[in-house]
Amino acid sequence: MINFVHPLPCGNAVALTLTPGVFPWRLVRRLDGDFDMPLTLIEEGEATDGSPLYWPVVDYQSIPNGTPIWYRFDTFENGAWVPGTPVSVTPAYVDDPAYSSPDLTALVQERLDLGLQSELAAGRLRHGKGRIPVLSASPQLEQVTLPVVTAILVDRRSDARGIGETIIPDAFDGSYWSAFEGWLDRSTVQIIAWSLNHEDRLDLRNAIQRILLLNLPILDAAGFSLPDLSSSDTADFETYNAPIYHSAFTLSCGHAVMVRDKYPSVESLEVSINAQAI
């Protein structure tokens, strides 16, 4: 029998939970509810020993959004298929996917900008225009005054995963369950200080590292964990009209990324049990 059916938040897909019994079975589908017409076979299985068994099925083939579709669980008894009770569900892309993923690059750019303003005010740095820009792409040097700083995302990948992609426990608000799925990502941001001489590079390098260390509580509060920082210096004497001195930092942090699926609570669950007196 069909115990539970609900549309998946990605849209164009349906999840079902079945309980096979002591007869061979099949799950069939119709897009219009007319089961007298040819049926689409979704899944089939053999008879069980009668013990309660939950069989998950995900149907994602040729399913439209916004239109009710119908499923029926049939059993093969005495040489013929015995139809079950049809159930319907309307697939849809979730209106509010509640996607959660903190943006390391944006946070680093913001905190560097604030920190560099404070370093300028304290007299530990200097800039011809009174502010060191923090850019999201490599600068066009003829349009900026050095020094400048860039902060760019260079890598992001899944780092750790849980069983069933569960990231935090399900939550119930009295009417609906919220299920959260995702994993732990690791984002890597490259921060580059661009200077015209070694002395400015040294001052800017020390300031950037100081700012990042002072902002460790901010990273933690924003959901970032296990920060890792490395740095190196380079110089470019060929590309531009003047020598450019770089100090490059690589900041890597772990963080959760997840989406939410909402579905109604199960009011009752019927399970047939094949009991035999001894």
Strands 225-236 and 244-264: antiparallel
Do 120 and 8 lie in a common domain?
A: no
**Looking at residues 192-200, what average pLDDT do you find?**
95
Q: With a cut of 90, say whether residue 207 has pLDDT above it.
A: yes
The angle formed by the CA atoms of residues 18, 19 and 25, to the nearest 5 degrees, is 85
Last residue of a domain, one of 67, 93, 119: 93
Q: How confident is the model at residue 164 (pLDDT cuts 50, 70, 90)?
A: low
How is residue 11 written in tokens?
């849209």
CATH code: domain of residue 140: 3.30.70.1700
- Written as one string, the DSSP assignment of 48-66 is --SS---EEEEE-SS--SS
Do 110 and 181 lie in a common domain?
A: yes
CA distance linking residue 33 with residue 225, whole number of Å: 51
In the block, tokens 């990231």 appear at: 167
Do 116 and 249 lie in a common domain?
A: yes
Q: How confident is the model at residue 278 (pLDDT cuts 50, 70, 90)?
A: very low
Do 137 and 89 lie in a common domain?
A: no
Could you say which DSSP state residue 240 is in?
S
Query: In whole numbers, what is the pLDDT of the chain averaged over residues?
Result: 88
Do 119 and 51 lie in a common domain?
A: no
Do 221 and 125 lie in a common domain?
A: yes
Task: Write out the H or E segment, with its range, that includes residue 186.
Answer: strand 176-195
**Looking at residues 76-93, what average pLDDT do you find?**
93
Do 118 and 176 lie in a common domain?
A: yes
Q: With a cut of 90, say whether residue 108 has pLDDT above it.
A: yes
Range of the domain at 227: 104-262
Do 205 and 250 lie in a common domain?
A: yes
Last residue of a domain, one of 51, 69, 93: 93
Confidence (pLDDT) at 78: 92
Which of 272, 263, 267, 250 has its CA nearest to residue 105? 250
Do 14 and 80 lie in a common domain?
A: yes
CA distance linking residue 236 with residue 257, whole number of Å: 38
Confidence (pLDDT) at 51: 66
Percentage with pLDDT > 90 across the chain = 65
pTM: 0.76
Number of domains in the chain: 2
Which of 250, 210, 258 has its CA nearest to residue 104? 250
Q: With a cut of 80, say whether residue 270 has pLDDT above it.
A: no
Do 33 and 121 lie in a common domain?
A: no
Q: With a cut of 70, say whether residue 52 has pLDDT above it.
A: no
Higher pLDDT, 173 or 272: 173
Confidence (pLDDT) at 240: 86
Q: What are phi and psi of 146, to 5 degrees?
A: -80, 150
Do 134 and 219 lie in a common domain?
A: yes
Q: With a cut of 70, say whether residue 97 has pLDDT above it.
A: no
For the ranges 130-139, 149-158, 252-261, 266-275, the lowest mean pLDDT is seen at 266-275
Higher pLDDT, 245 or 270: 245
Which of 204, 224, 205 has its CA nearest to residue 216? 224
Q: With a cut of 80, say whether residue 194 has pLDDT above it.
A: yes
**Looking at residues 209-229, what average pLDDT do you find?**
96
CATH code: domain of residue 35: 2.60.40.10
Q: Is 114 left (phi over 0), alpha (psi -120 to 50) or beta?
A: alpha
**Looking at residues 55-74, what average pLDDT do you find?**
94
Last residue of a domain, one of 37, 64, 93: 93
